[in-house]
Amino acid sequence: MNLSMEAIIWEHNRLRLLDQTKLPRSIEYIECNHYQTVAEAIKKLAVRGAPAIGAAAAYGLVVGAGQIEAADRQTFVAKLADIARELGDTRPTAVNLRWALDRMMMRLAAAPEQDVQELRRILLDEAHAIYQEDIQSNRQMGEFGQALLPDGARVLTHCNAGALATAGYGTALGVIRAAHEKGKQIHVFADETRPLLQGARLTAWEMLQAGIPVTLITDNMAGYLMAKQQVDCVIVGADRITANGDVANKIGTYGVAVLAKHHNIPFYVAAPLSTIDLRLSSGDEIPIEERDPREVTHHGGQAMAPEGVQVWNPAFDVTPHQLVTAIITEQGVIYPPYLENLAKVCGNNK
């Protein structure tokens, strides 16, 4: 991806977020001079994708730290904790958001410095670390995952798990990028991903920018595409993975996984270890965000459904671990049994 199109930019001591609600029609950045601007950008999906909102929230905490008027450490940390809670409440499903904020606050707690200005510098350094580590983990993930893709593979993906959804490079799309960089002839089928069309607007755009062949399909075409033997594997990202390997991802992922199982097609999940939440035993415990009904009834400001119709609009669904062929992480590819193997990998990296 062109560096001018990065989703998150920190330069000249300020935060800029690419407004992904405007893509692909226009490339516009949100100037975040207040932490509440960051919170609103996360809520309205101007910045989205589990790793990206974690990194954005970390920088949002830095922005908030700059707004705090406090001369002593205790007051500063207390006010910062309030800001962290506000940022953390923006979206409940993706665990990376809370993980990044907790990491920032723990870094501060471990710092012996009393000077508030020095504490602000420590926070910025930690946000930079989260950002850079995400890019590195995505590239490592891509290297492990590309080995699963044969030359000529036709890959179906759902939603957007690319550079736009991370600090850079991507998770699911990072695997595809890595295969492409190895010289493999990869063809991507991108589900449009209703109701907000992240596949149509973002994944298709990213693949075109990267020069990777891509075909856009509507969500209800995936099963027939598989039946026509046009899909070799499915790769998706994740917003939270529980201890038993259940996967929360964009709504519609579960249906794709069921179709892949029926057609004997490998279903891979690409996600960093920060997305794995061993505190939850299964997907039944994952909080599922429900969003504004207008996302379903309207598009581009135009009504697409009769006024007054009832709407159910969960942003995510849960794919049971039995449907997941493997989980691709920066530490390697994890296979079942997930309860044992996820604990082993995450335990080794504490």
Query: pLDDT by residue (tens digit) across 129-153?
Result: 999 999 999 999 999 999 999 999 9
What's the whole-number mean pLDDT along residues 46-73? 96
Pair of tokens at residue 201: 């607007």
How many residues are present in the chain? 350
Tens of pLDDT, residues 148-165: 999 999 999 999 999 999
Q: Which CATH superfamily is domain 3-138 in?
A: translation initiation factor eif-2b, domain 1 (1.20.120.420)
50 annotated as a binding-site residue = yes
Element housing 303 (H / E) = strand 302-303
Report the alpha-carbon distance of residue 258 to residue 320 in Å, rounded.
Answer: 10
pTM here is 0.95
91 annotated as a binding-site residue = yes
261 annotated as a binding-site residue = no
Domain 148-347 class?
alpha beta
pLDDT reported for residue 300: 86
Please give the share of the chain, as a percent, with pLDDT higher than 70: 98
Report the alpha-carbon distance of residue 88 to residue 64 in Å, rounded.
Answer: 13
| More confident of the two residues 285 and 300 | 285
Angle between helices 116-146 and 73-88 (to 10 degrees): 40
Decide: 234 and 334 in contact? Cβ < 8 Å: no
Q: For every residue of 83-133, which 3-state class applies, written as one string?
A: HHHHHHCCCCCCHHHHHHHHHHHHHHHHCCCCCHHHHHHHHHHHHHHHHHH
Residue span(s) of the chain under CATH 1.20.120.420 come to: 3-138
Please give the share of the chain, as a percent, with pLDDT higher than 90: 95
What's the whole-number mean pLDDT along residues 83-88? 98
What's the whole-number mean pLDDT along residues 38-53? 97
User: Is 239 considered catalytic here?
Assistant: yes
What's the mean per-residue pLDDT of the chain?
A: 96
User: Is the confidence at residue 166, as pLDDT, over 70?
Assistant: yes
Decide: 194 and 219 in contact? Cβ < 8 Å: yes
Which sign, positive or negative, has the C-alpha torsion 268, 138, 172, 212? Answer: negative
Pair of tokens at residue 88: 């953390």
User: Is the confidence at residue 114, as pLDDT, over 90?
Assistant: no
Catalytic hit among 191, 239, 246, 317: 239
CA angle at residue 41 from 36 to 42, to 5 degrees?
A: 100
Report the alpha-carbon distance of residue 270 to residue 235 in Å, rounded.
Answer: 7
User: Is the confidence at residue 4, as pLDDT, over 50?
Assistant: no
Which sign, positive or negative, has the C-alpha torsion 329, 334, 336, 338? Answer: negative
66 annotated as a binding-site residue = no
Residue where the block lists tokens 């990072």: 174
Residue 349: band (very low, low, confident or very high) from pLDDT cuts 50, 70, 90: low
β-sheet bridge partners, residue 217: 191
Element housing 214 (H / E) = strand 214-217
Residue span(s) of the chain under CATH 3.40.50.10470 come to: 148-347
Report the alpha-carbon distance of residue 47 to residue 10 in Å, rounded.
Answer: 14
Tens of pLDDT, residues 174-213: 999 999 999 999 999 999 999 999 999 999 999 999 999 9
250 annotated as a binding-site residue = yes
User: Is the confidence at residue 2, as pLDDT, over 50?
Assistant: no
The two beta strands, 247-250 and 240-242, are antiparallel
Cβ atoms within 10 Å of 90's Cβ, excluding its own:
20
What's the whole-number mean pLDDT along residues 210-230? 98
117 annotated as a binding-site residue = no
Maximum separation of any 2 CA atoms in the chain, in Å: 67
